[in-house]
Amino acid sequence: MSLKPGDVTARSEHSGMKNAGEMGSECQICARPVGVRFFYDDPLNTPITDLEVKLTDMSGATLVEGLTTEAPVSRGLQDATSGVGALRSELGGVVHGEVPFSAGAVTATTNPSQDIKSAADDAWAIEQDIVGKLWNFEQSMLAKFQPYVDEWERDGLLGAGADYYKGVGKGIANWWNGEKDFWGSAWGALKSSAAAVEQYTRANPELLLGPLGYMIHAQKLGMRAGQSLAEWFSENSASVGDFLGNLTSLMRALLIGDIDGVVNELESLTGLEDIPGAIGDFGKMLKDAMADGIDWIRDMIEMIRRTPVLGLIANTAMRCIMLMTPNYWAKVIGEGVGFVIPEVLIWVITILIGALSSGAGSVILAQRCAGIASKLRSLIKGSQHVSRLLSFLDELRPIVNLIGDLAKKLRQSINEIRTGIVDSTQKLFRRTRYYRGKLDDLARQGHGPQRHEGDVTDKALFDRVYRGKDPATGRMHPRDRRGRIRGVGKHSTKFHTPADYVRAYEKALKHPDFKSFKGNSALDRQQVEIPMSDIFGPNFQARVRGFTRASGRTGRQPTVVRTVFSANAKVVVRFKRENGIIKLITMYPEP
């Protein structure tokens, strides 16, 4: 086919423009697109959206400044709405379309317009404020629930001390003492506690306001006429049982900074969407938030990666829930509310997601969370006894709301550099498991984490000073010739979270005594002591816990009390040199 002159001109013009690029720019033969995408290495490979990036050439000259990594809003979408999840692999990036080949390999630097140190200092100040408020909250709850705790410890199950250690009483003991059963398989402990509540109320019918009270309780749970509470839990294990286990496992994962566990449990809880009412609404919200959420998950990961705040919130909430003894729940049932630990846990998770969503600008998700939290709170109505549960909800919420501001400052202080970028396919994966990995390394060096970190239960801490049982091995400490237990001091203490344990260790590495030890190969061992306030600021009490032998000797029924950490509390760190390598022997809070 012959071409007319106009056809030739048109084709030539098209070809020329294709190679030339835009007027006044580098021609495309002499330039290429260059960019990088930022992700976390979490199970979802969450993109790091809305992150400011600067690109420089191999000489350090700025190519472009102030680019922001793509977020859902860049595509005209709201976070956690339909269709966002499908874009997960495409977001979190910046691309400069016309970088001269003469620029060489390009470098990407995050947050060029931010004072990163100042933003990090602001984040640290917010964290300290939250931790201080959590401590005050726990003391407030302790005062409110202490009468029920005293009554339970005095009278036991139905006032019969012998029965307390049998059957369902053992399940309650696990719950009350905070053993791993409570965290890992709370379903069993809560099922036992439900049975204990039932026995307590049947033996004290005045608490249920007679038959009417029991009917209110039964109707609230959807029980059959004559069906026992324990039977109801057994028959509903597929929904209630599994869900209790996932809820408490999620709280535990938050405490230890296990991002894999957090994601896994959040996804498991989406199955709640089939349950009617507010719990079903929570399941539907969570399903959408996990499938199509990016920005709020980004902030959750960064917070877990760099702070223990979510873990300390979860830990404080669970410790306060453990103040709600079976006799307390029996009286709450008498006011027509019922056994609502599941709803309380869901409420805590809902306000956490809501606060993260608000801070991330995920408006629709934040509104959904606010609505669900409001519905759950409205289910809990009563007077004398229920008012204490309502104070738990109302006092915790403003503390949780502070995490939105913390997330913003953490995002503004992200400091990453990616070098050697030659095209637009480069990816940078930001580590999410630093504290857990470092803690595992320290555990291999000595016995510090095994005796003094969050995985050590309250009961294990208590048994060490009371019985002389080693939390690291599960065996009894040896005795000397006079029969006294060796290797057990007056206190048995721990840090609640891996993040704080590792932070204290890294502070010790900067201490003058450690530096002197490091430089003197003739020394085999060194002890370093650092004021707790120098590491964590003045409000550190919510980060640590312990038991103290007030009188008597370990192994001979001593008097043991909760450890009180003074303003002068310190961290004791012991190092050893082994074949020229310095290792951590142990590290613990000293009151």
pLDDT, tens only, 395-445? 999 999 999 999 999 999 999 999 999 999 899 999 999 998 999 999 999
Helices (H) and strands (E) in the chain, counts: 24, 13
In terms of domains, do 386 and 485 share one? Answer: no
What are the residues whose beta carbons fall under 8 Å from the beta carbon of 410, sequence distance 6 or more? 123, 299, 302, 303, 306, 307
Q: Residue 172: its pLDDT value, please?
A: 37
Where in the sequence is the domain holding 181, given as residue range(s)? 117-409
Same domain, 294 and 344: yes
What does the chain come to in residues? 591
Is the pLDDT at 235 greater than 60? The verdict is: no
- 101 in the same domain as 250: no
Average pLDDT estimate for 336-345:
72
Q: How many domains does the chain have?
A: 3
Residues 216 and 313 in one domain: yes
Beta strand 581-590 with 426-430: parallel, antiparallel or unpaired?
unpaired
Residues 6+ positions from 148 with CB-CB distance below 8 Å: 323, 324, 325, 327, 328, 331
- 262 contacts 251 by C-beta, under 8 angstroms: no
CA distance 410 to 455: 27
Percent of the chain with pLDDT over 90: 59
Average of per-residue pLDDT values in the chain? 82
Mean pLDDT of 528-557: 94
Q: What is the pLDDT of residue 323?
A: 80
Q: Are residues 27 and 175 in the same domain?
A: no
What ranges in 178-241 are assigned the alpha helix state H? 180-184, 186-203, 211-221, 229-235
Do 160 and 107 reside in the same domain of the chain?
A: no
Do 467 and 421 fall within a single domain?
no
**80 or 147, higher pLDDT:** 80
* Whether residue 86 is found in the same domain as residue 138: no
pLDDT category at 330 given cuts 50, 70, 90 is: low
Q: What is the CATH number of the domain that holds 24?
A: 2.60.40
Q: Do 309 and 257 have their domain in common?
A: yes
pLDDT tens for residues 420-433? 999 998 999 999 99
Answer yes or no: do 176 and 107 share one domain: no
pLDDT bracket for residue 181 (50, 70, 90): very low
* 178, 179, 182, 184: CA torsion to nearest 10: 140
Same domain for 88 and 141, yes or no, is no
Q: Alpha-carbon distance 326 to 163, whole Å? A: 14
Backbone angles phi, psi at 552, to 5 degrees: 85, -175
Cβ burial 567-589 (10 Å sphere, 16+ → b, else e): eebbbbbbbbbeeeeeebbbbbb
Residues 244 and 391 in one domain: yes
CA atoms of 294 and 89, how far apart (whole Å): 11
